[in-house]
Amino acid sequence: MSKFVILYNPKAGNGTGLQMAEQIPVKDGFERELIDVTKITDFEEVFSKLSGEDKLVLSGGDGTLNRFVNDTAKLNRPKGILFYASGTGNDFLNDIGRPEDGFVELDPYITHLPEVTINGKTCLFLNGIGFGIDGYCCEEGDRQREAGKKKINYTSIAILGLLFHFKPRNAKVTVDGVTKEFKKVWIAPTMNGRCYGGGMFPTPAQDRLKNDTVSVALMYGKGRLKTLMVFPSIFKGEHVKHTEMVEIMTGKEVTVTFDQPTALQIDGETVKNVTSYTVKAAE
């Protein structure tokens, strides 16, 4: 019998990854096989055991997707890999839209991806690189999770950060060799897609299938109250109307440098104490 081989992340969905994988609908004539993706040490071996009729399904969130594409980037991945979202933020799915049956064929989305370099280390990413209060939110969310909190409210963290805790940085942003300087920068993400942070659209015109460019969004120059008033509009991508404090630039290579170390997130995964990153679009 042909198999639905489901690579699931048990930590996805606030620890409900296994239960969600067990509920993924399996088509008639297929047998379910569950594999904990966090325990795979040799993806090539997993791929080699697939028959021509088997279906490979990746189940998790944005972080699971990120780790999978990086772990398998240099391998001969099978065609037709499916993704079934079971994360908390699911920004990849928020961007492209959920198909009626829940399954996304990954091939068009993972073939050509941008790369980010931080402190000499380079990796691929699917959605975006968050720098500023978005990185702070991930850092604070991680801290709350480690303290035992089960449900993390990132919107609440962002509001408290805007009002009290996060100090905006000064930044230099270089896009395709042209450098601009910005004061009081609240966010400076570089995006492959439109969506990050559990439903925010910092770069609403960015097309992840265009592949050859990325977009960097700056929210800058204003104080806490004005920024807090405008910030909610990012959930609909309408912040771009505030040209006095929002600028979006698109190009093939982006470098962002802050004047103070700041937490950064890559597809939701936190990197602490970063002063600079460089993104190169897929060639």
pLDDT in tens, 229-280: 999 999 999 999 999 999 999 999 999 999 999 999 999 889 999 999 999 9
The verdict on 105 and 120 lying in the same domain is no
Q: How far apart are CA 49 and CA 190, in angstroms?
A: 38
Side-chain-side CA neighbours of 48 within 13 Å: the count stands at 5
- Is the pLDDT at 70 greater than 80? The verdict is yes
Mark whether 137 and 220 lie in a shared domain. yes
Coil, strand or helix at 59: strand
Do 73 and 161 lie in a common domain? no
Domain shared by 188 and 276, yes or no: yes
Domain shared by 200 and 261, yes or no: yes
CA 153 to chain centre: 17
Task: Give how far Cα 62 sits from Cα of 35, 53, 83, 112, 171, Å.
Answer: 18, 27, 11, 17, 27
* DSSP 8-class letter at 278: E
Q: Which 8-state DSSP code applies to residue 41?
A: S
- Residue 151: is its pLDDT beyond 80? no
Pair (90, 137) in one structural domain: no
Residue 212 — φ and ψ, nearest 5°?
A: -90, 0
Specify the 3-state DSSP secondary structure of 19.
helix
CA atoms within 13 A on the CB side of 121: 7
Instruction: HSE, CB side, 13 Å, CA atoms: give it for residue 21.
Output: 27
The number of angstroms, rounded, from the C-alpha of 271 to the middle of its chain's C-alpha atoms is 13
Last residue of a domain, one of 58, 88, 110: 110
Same domain as 157, residue 53: no
Do 195 and 100 belong together in one domain? Answer: no
Same domain, 94 and 193: no
Classify residue 211 as left (phi > 0), alpha (psi -120 to 50) or beta: left
At residue 155 the predicted structure's pLDDT band, cuts being 50, 70 and 90, is: confident
With left for phi above 0 and alpha for psi between -120 and 50, is residue 258 left, alpha or beta?
beta
Which residue is listed with tokens 């500023």?
132
CATH code for position 130: 2.60.200.40
Number of domains forming the structure of the chain: 2
pLDDT band for 211, please (50, 70, 90 cuts).
Answer: confident
Q: Which amino acid is at 235?
A: F
- pLDDT at 59 exceeding the cut of 90: yes
| 15 three-state secondary structure | helix
Closest alpha carbon to 158 in 204, 206, 199 = 199
The pLDDT mean for the chain works out to 93
Q: Look at residues 229, 33, 25, 234 and name the one whose alpha carbon lies nearest to residue 128.
A: 234
Q: How does residue 154 score in pLDDT terms, banded at 50, 70 and 90? A: confident
DSSP letter assigned to residue 111: S
Domain co-membership, 179 together with 251: yes
Q: Which residues pair with 243 in a beta bridge?
A: none
Are 175 and 248 in contact, with CB atoms under 8 Å apart?
no
Could you tell me if 169 and 144 lie in one domain? Answer: yes
pLDDT level of residue 1 (50, 70, 90 thresholds): confident
Task: Assign residue 38 the CATH number of its domain.
Answer: 3.40.50.10330
Identify the domain boundary among 94, 110, 126.
110
What residue numbers bound the domain in which 89 lies? Answer: 2-110
Q: What is the pLDDT of residues 10-57, one digit of tens each?
A: 988 878 899 999 999 998 889 999 999 999 999 999 999 998 889 999
Among 55, 86, 110, give the residue marking a domain's end. 110
Separation CA 121–CA 160 (nearest Å) = 32
Query: What sign does the CA torsion over 191, 195, 198, 202 have?
Result: positive
The predicted structure's pLDDT at residue 167: 95
Residues 104 and 174 in one domain: no
Helix (H, G, I), strand (E, B) or coil at 271: strand
Q: Tell me which residue of 193, 186, 267 sits closest to 222, measured CA to CA.
A: 186
